[in-house]
Amino acid sequence: MRLLRFIAFSVVRAWQGFWRNAMMSLAATSTVVLMLVLLSGLLIVLAGLDSGLQYIESKVGVTARLQDNLAQEDIDTLVTYIEGLPGVLKVDYIPPEEALERLKQVYEEQGQTLDLGGAEITLYASVEIALTDANQASAVATALEERPEVELITTRQDNYDKLLGIIGYIRTVGFIALALVGLTVLFMIVNMIRIAVYSRSGEIEIMRLVGASDSFIRWPFILEGILCGVIGAIITIILVAVAWEPIKPIMVRVFQMPTAVSTEFLAVLSAVILGMGLGVGALGSWISVRANLASAA
């Protein structure tokens, strides 16, 4: 019961304190929102890129464009040869007709129609090679270079490496920006609590003199910081939830990955936002209380 009274006392005092210095509290909460919106944006982009990376990783393979007019026998020999190479999972022969169908499909997905102006075109035949291990791509490509049936070899390794580089760059820049905004948020919360401590110095002195314990003096201030972080987090979660529907098609279009915009991802993102808000609020107020209430009791 005593613990419950302590919690109730601290929460009520924190709530009163939050609104007593409303301007300062709202300024601090706004910076929390700014930080968490930035964090959300960064996490959404990184999740999209990571999904893309995973997709490419799973699909990394080798595509070999074949010479025109190969006999079926040559094609079969080549496929058998490739199937015997180490690290090869599956080999698919894509005849020119299927390649054309695929091209039409790509156009359709983009809302367009492939217009050839009535002309007949023949695309290259190719073999698509799926690998058991993405690292085998170079070895398979080297082996195919010696084959006369093969005209051009492409791997997705370049795309994979490029995307990995972009993700690393975005992650670094994003986290540096986040750290800077995070420091600003901490500074705002530390100041908010410092002002709260000074504005209530009379009360604090009386609390000390009448025998209030350290926890009764400190926790309302710590909770005030936590309140600031949590309110900021709730506002951010609402903003993200509202923006979620418009974001989804953009994400699918940009990253081609539905996994990055799943409801599950939104739930995880909300939990991260709430945790960050709570954490930064608690850390800021704890630092401030330690610095400004060191001599309490």
Partner 1 sequence: MTDTLQRPYVAQPQRVEPVISMVDIGMTYPNGKVALVDVNVEIPEGDFVFLVGPSGAGKSTFIRLLIREQLPTAGRVVVAGRDLSTMRRSQVPALRRRIGIVFQDFRLLPAKTVYENVAFALEVTGATGAEIRKRVPRLLNLVGLHEHDEHLPAQLSGGEQQRTAIARALVHDPAMLIADEPTGNLDPVTSWDLIQLLIQINAMGTTVLMATHNQEIVNAMRRRVLALEHGTLVRDESGAAYEREY
Q: Would you say 99 or 212 has its CB closer to partner 1?
A: 212
Position 294 contacts partner 1 (CB under 8 A)? no
CB 138 within 8 A of CB 157: yes
Distance between start and end Cα atoms, the chain: 24
Q: Is position 212 an interface residue for partner 1 (rule: CB under 8 A)?
A: yes
CA gap 83, 67 in Å, rounded: 19
Under 8 Å between Cβ of 120 and 61 = no
* Closer residue to partner 1 (CB): 19 or 169: 19
The answer to whether 7 contacts partner 1 (rule: CB under 8 A) is no
Asked whether position 11 contacts partner 1 by CB under 8 A, the answer is no
Segment lying near partner 1 (by CB under 8 A), choices 25-33, 100-108, 121-129, 199-207:
199-207
Q: At a CB cut-off of 8 Å and minimum separation 6, what does 112 contact?
A: none
| Least Cβ distance, residue 216 to partner 1 (angstroms) | 5
Q: How far is the CB of 290 from partner 1 (least distance, A)?
A: 14
- Tokens (6 digits) for 13: 């005092």
State the CB neighbour count (10 A cutoff) for residue 270.
Answer: 18
Residue found by looking up tokens 């939990």 in the block: 271
Among 98, 128, 151, 203, binds partner 1 (CB under 8 A): 203
Closest CA to 229 of 286, 291, 297: 286
For partner 1, the closer of residues 272 and 297 by Cβ is 297
- Of 117 and 202, which CB lies nearer to partner 1 in the complex structure? 202
Rounded distance between C-alpha atoms, residue 249 and residue 156, angstroms: 25
For residue 141, give the H/E element and its range: helix 137-145
State the Cα–Cα distance between residues 190 and 286, nearest whole angstrom: 8
Q: Is 127 strand, coil or helix?
A: strand
Helices (H) and strands (E) in the chain, counts: 9, 4
Q: How many residues at the interface with partner 1, by CB under 8 A?
A: 20
Q: Is residue 22 a contact point for partner 1 (CB under 8 A)?
A: no
Q: Which of 59, 104, 171, 208 binds partner 1 (CB under 8 A)?
A: 208
Near partner 1 by CB under 8 A, which window of 30-38, 49-57, 167-175, 207-215?
207-215
CB nearer to partner 1: give 13 or 156: 13
- Three-class DSSP category at 60: coil
CA separation for the pair 79, 66 (Å, rounded): 11
Does 15 help bind partner 1 (rule: CB under 8 A)?
no
Residues forming beta bridges with residue 129, ordered by sequence position: 62, 91
Judged by CB under 8 A, the chain residues 116 through 135 that form the site for partner 1 are none
Among 22, 119, 209, 294, binds partner 1 (CB under 8 A): 209
Which one of residues 210, 245, 246, 264 is an interface residue with partner 1 (CB under 8 A)? 210
Interface with partner 1 (CB under 8 A), residue from 62, 94, 207, 273: 207
Task: Give 94's strand partners.
Answer: 126
Binding mask 213-232 for partner 1 (x = CB under 8 A): xx-xx---------------
Binding site for partner 1 (CB under 8 A): 1-2, 5-6, 9, 202-203, 205-214, 216-217, 297
